[in-house]
Amino acid sequence: MGFTSGPIQVNEGLRKYMLSVFNKMFMALCLTGGVSFVCGSNPEVVAAMQGGLSTLLFVVTLGIVFYLSSRIGKISPDTAQALFWVYAALVGASISPIIARYTGESIANAFFTSAAFFGGLSLYGYTTSKDLTGIGSFMLTGLIVVILSSFINVFFLHNSLLETGLSVLSVIIFSGLTMYDIQKIKHYYSETQGDEVVAKCSIIGALALYLDFLNLFLALLRIVGNRK
């Protein structure tokens, strides 16, 4: 009797944990989308973002990510959760000029395509018995290359063909990272003890998946989106 109840309890706990991760990710995406829509509908806000405010918000959001990652063991789950919501709202404001460039139909198509991609990749990452650590490391290296190349293109080259190529590469990279992060988040649960630690891990996991989905969506939007 004891041998059967143990695995059932573990599986139920893992199920609740993963649901918590996905619920937090979904709510953060809704918050980002709502803030982006409101800001993108205001020409003055869009102009302010294009005038340099988005760069400032990028630095602030980057600081929040680093703070959460480095201090998650010392702050409370409520504080971590609050920082996550603030982060999602600021990202929504910072990407509003990008979203404002595209038609509503393009945004919807990119979103649902991203959701389909993300769902399939998440299922594979959750169910596969293959260790995806190697894929994750390779994709992280590729992400650094994409970031540096994008920086050079934005400030020096202004090459639309290169931008498209980097967007395609971003789709591949964040697809791989989605599978890797799902597996990593699943392993977090087996390595943690205590409700508070599990709660914190669910927030960090939600943040990772949020970034994967958002960047996958933005990359697809740049590839298939129709500008206004």
Task: Give the pLDDT band of residue 52 (cuts 50, 70, 90).
Answer: confident
Q: pLDDT digits over 62-118, tens only?
A: 999 999 999 998 999 999 999 999 999 999 999 999 999 999 999 999 999 999 999
Quick one: average pLDDT of 212-217? 98
Calpha distance 95→39 (Å, rounded) = 9
Percentage, residues of the chain above pLDDT 90: 79
C-alpha 228/C-alpha 219 separation (Å) is 17
Which is nearest to 222 in space by CA: 176, 184, 165, 175? 165
pLDDT at 80: 96
Q: Is pLDDT above 60 for 4?
A: no
- What are the residue boundaries of the structural domains of the chain, listed by start? 2-224
What's the pLDDT tens digit per position in 135-147?
Answer: 999 999 999 999 9
Percent pLDDT > 70 in the chain is 94
pTM of the model: 0.92
Most distant CA pair in the chain, distance: 67
Whole-angstrom distance, CA of residue 202 vs CA of residue 16:
10
